[in-house]
């Protein structure tokens, strides 16, 4: 079997590496890939952009690729699954309609309200003055406007960086105004969601879904704040580990009963059955309750790296079962050991920073044991 992985990051490196482990797979192609994926056995990079649907589908048809796995969210939100379906090509990932769970935070909040899925109180805005009035009123209700955490989110895709945790009303108003002006995130920020701050511990809960059945992967936890002590701007993720101790057996059962199953049932009822990776970003409250912080329509990054390091099951076969609607017949096996991923980023990230600088030193084996590498310039130092 030949498999195509779409994307260029560490997540796609982990996916390609795990897919290549399958005895049923003879070749893995990554479009466009990176210098790290190029070093893996059975893996070949393709000079095809992730948004070139015609080029990707044409390659799949010419080469007889039997399965395509989409890594990043942008092609899914743009409808790559629908594009492949129209050509009878197997593509693991949700349809454009189902990918709205990540593509629009306002849609997702309204969806959760319709289906009784627990989440933070919220309001959406397209007007900066209305947003400011709401923020200041919410702060005043707390009787201490200077210290109320307020969460402001861009509605659309922002590469995991479209969330501002404001420590006071003035900061929240500034963030809302900046987003709505289009200065920060373009059209993705011209609608915003303002929501209450939740106190607890975050966890990432990712499942494979076939439209009716969800097969949960091991728990994980990523850390989005750039700086030590959970400070600094939000990023796409500075590191992750699996398992997440906060997801106890009881919490796991609550997540499945209160979040995952109602989400699958709700999407199916609304005419958009969900197939693919479903990532619920959750807040586990001190009393063991759960609230949805966000949904993502793909495997997390950096969560994919530790999760796939621990997974002992055949990933492409699981994806095919999901596409065939037979996940109820499947199960997963896991390495009992913990796994950890740490992100190394350019100075200034995620704000203004340089891209494409060579990475050196990866040829040196750390004393701790195994290591993996991904990034520009691995071959041309």
CATH code of the domain covering residue 315: 3.30.470.20
At how many degrees (to 10) do helices 169-181 and 128-141 cross? 160
Contacts of 368 (CB under 8 A, 6+ apart): none
Sign of CA dihedral 238, 241, 244, 245: negative
For helices 315-324 and 10-20, what crossing angle results, to 10°? 90
Which range scores top for mean pLDDT: 158-172, 204-218, 364-378? 204-218
Q: Is residue 362 assigned to a domain?
A: no
In the prediction, which pLDDT does 337 show? 98
CA-to-CA separations, 241 to 77, 196, 285, in angstroms, rounded: 27, 27, 20
Predicted TM-score (pTM) of this structure: 0.92
Do both 191 and 210 map to the same domain? Answer: no
Window from 24-38, 45-59, 260-274, 345-359 with minimum mean pLDDT: 345-359
Residues 312 and 268 in one domain: yes
Question: In terms of domains, do 177 and 205 share one?
Answer: no
At which of 37, 65, 100 does a domain end? Answer: 100
The two tokens of residue 221 are 């936890």
Contacts of 113 (CB under 8 A, 6+ apart): none
Based on the domain organization, do 165 and 283 belong to the same domain? no
CATH value at residue 158: 3.30.1490.20
Judgement on whether residues 257 and 327 belong to the same structural domain of the protein: yes
Whether residue 227 is contained in a domain is answered as yes
Rounded CA-CA distance 7/45 in Å is 10
Give the C-alpha separation, 273 to 191, whole Å.
Answer: 26
Count up the domains in the chain and report the number.
Answer: 3
Residue 366 lies in a domain: no
| 22: in domain | yes
Q: How confident is the model at residue 372 (pLDDT cuts 50, 70, 90)?
A: low
Task: Tell the burial category of 228 from Cβ atoms under 10 Å away from its Cβ (0-12, 13-18, 19+).
Answer: exposed
Q: Is the peptide bond before 321 cis (omega within 30 degrees of 0)?
A: no
- Same domain flag for 71 and 28: yes
Q: Indicate if 208 and 335 belong to the same structural domain.
A: yes
Structure confidence by residue, pLDDT tens digits, 144-155: 544 568 999 999
What pLDDT score does 326 carry?
A: 98
C-alpha closest to that of 299 among 5, 3, 4: 5
Read off the tokens for 302: 């950096």
pLDDT for position 248: 98
**CA-CA distances (angstroms) from residue 167 to 118, 139, 155, 342, 358?**
24, 10, 20, 27, 37
pLDDT of residue 380: 33
The span from the CA of 97 to the CA of 340, in Å, is 33
- Quick one: which H or E segment has residue 6? strand 2-7
**Are 178 and 218 within one domain?**
no
pLDDT of residue 377: 47
Q: Based on the domain organization, do 92 and 225 belong to the same domain?
A: no
Task: Note whether 94 and 190 are same-domain residues.
Answer: no
Residue 357 forms part of a structural domain: no
* Residue-level pLDDT at 366: 57
The rounded mean pLDDT for the chain is 93
What confidence score (pLDDT) does residue 146 get? 47
pLDDT category, 359, cuts 50, 70, 90? confident
How far apart are the C-alpha atoms of 58 and 149, rounded to whole Å?
49
Distances (CA, A) of 314 to 1, 18, 371: 13, 8, 22
pLDDT digits (tens, 9 = 90+) for 253-284: 999 999 999 999 999 999 999 999 999 999 99
Kind and range of the H or E run holding 141:
helix 128-141
Among 286, 288, 300, residue whose Cα is nearest residue 217: 300
The predicted-structure confidence for 173-188, as pLDDT tens digits, reads as follows 999 999 999 888 899 9
Residues 151 and 214 in one domain: no
Average confidence (pLDDT) over 317-330:
98
236-254 pLDDT, tens digit each: 899 999 999 999 999 999 9
Same domain, 125 and 252: no
Q: 83-124: per-residue pLDDT in tens?
A: 999 999 999 999 999 999 999 999 999 999 999 999 999 999
How many angstroms separate the CA atoms of 168 and 79, rounded? 38
Does residue 35 form part of some domain? yes
Is 106 contained in some domain? no
β-bridge pairing 214-216 and 163-166: unpaired
| Residue 362 near residue 374, CB atoms below 8 Å | no
d(CA 311, CA 18): 8
**Confidence band of 143 (pLDDT split at 50, 70, 90):** low
Domain containing 47 equals: 2-100
Half-sphere exposure of 217 (CA within 13 A, CB side): 34
196, 212, 229 - which closes a domain? 196
On whether residue 244 sits in a domain, the answer given is: yes
The residues near 56 (Cβ < 8 Å, ≥ 6 apart) are 4, 6, 31, 48, 50, 68, 80
pLDDT digits (tens, 9 = 90+) for 3-21: 999 999 999 999 999 999 9
Residue 190, pLDDT above cutoff 70: yes
């Amino acid at each position: 079997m030949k498999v195509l992985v779409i994307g260029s990051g560490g997540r796609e490196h982990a996916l390609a590496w795990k897919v290549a482990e399958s005895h049923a797979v003879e070749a893995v192609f990554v479009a466009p890939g990176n210098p790290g994926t190029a070093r893996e056995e059975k893996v070949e990079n393709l000079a095809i952009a992730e948004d070139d649907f015609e080029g990707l589908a044409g390659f799949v048809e010419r080469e007889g690729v039997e399965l395509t796995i989409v890594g990043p969210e942008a092609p899914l939100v743009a409808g790559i699954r629908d594009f492949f379906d129209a050509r009878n090509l197997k593509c693991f990932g949700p349809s454009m309609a189902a990918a709205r769970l990540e593509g629009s935070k306002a849609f997702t909040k309204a969806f959760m309200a319709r289906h009784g899925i627990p989440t933070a109180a919220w309001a959406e805005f397209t007007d900066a003055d209305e947003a400011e009035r709401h923020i200041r009123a919410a702060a005043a209700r707390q009787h201490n406007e200077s210290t109320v955490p307020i969460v402001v989110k861009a509605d659309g895709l922002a590469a995991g960086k479209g969330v501002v945790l404001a420590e006071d009303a003035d900061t929240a108003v500034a963030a809302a105004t900046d987003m709505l002006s289009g200065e920060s995130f373009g059209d993705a920020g011209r609608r915003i969601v303002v929501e209450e701050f939740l106190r607890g511990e975050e966890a990432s809960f990712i499942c494979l879904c076939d439209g009716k059945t969800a097969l949960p992967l091991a728990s994980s936890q990523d850390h989005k704040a750039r700086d030590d002590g959970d400070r600094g701007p939000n990023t796409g993720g500075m590191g992750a580990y699996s398992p997440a101790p906060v997801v106890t057996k009881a919490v796991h059962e609550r997540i499945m009963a209160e979040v995952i199953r109602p989400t699958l049932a709700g999407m199916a009822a609304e005419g958009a059955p969900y197939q693919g990776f479903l990532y619920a970003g959750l807040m586990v409250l001190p009393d063991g309750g759960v609230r949805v912080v966000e949904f993502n329509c793909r495997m997390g990054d950096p969560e994919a790296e530790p999760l796939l390091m621990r997974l002992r099951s055949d990933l492409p076969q699981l994806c095919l079962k999901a596409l065939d609607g037979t996940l109820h017949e499947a199960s997963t096996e896991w390495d009992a050991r913990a796994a950890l991923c740490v992100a190394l980023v350019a100075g200034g990230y995620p704000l203004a920073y340089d891209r494409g600088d060579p990475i050196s030193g990866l040829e040196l084996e750390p004393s701790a044991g195994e290591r993996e590498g991904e990034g520009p310039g691995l071959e041309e130092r």
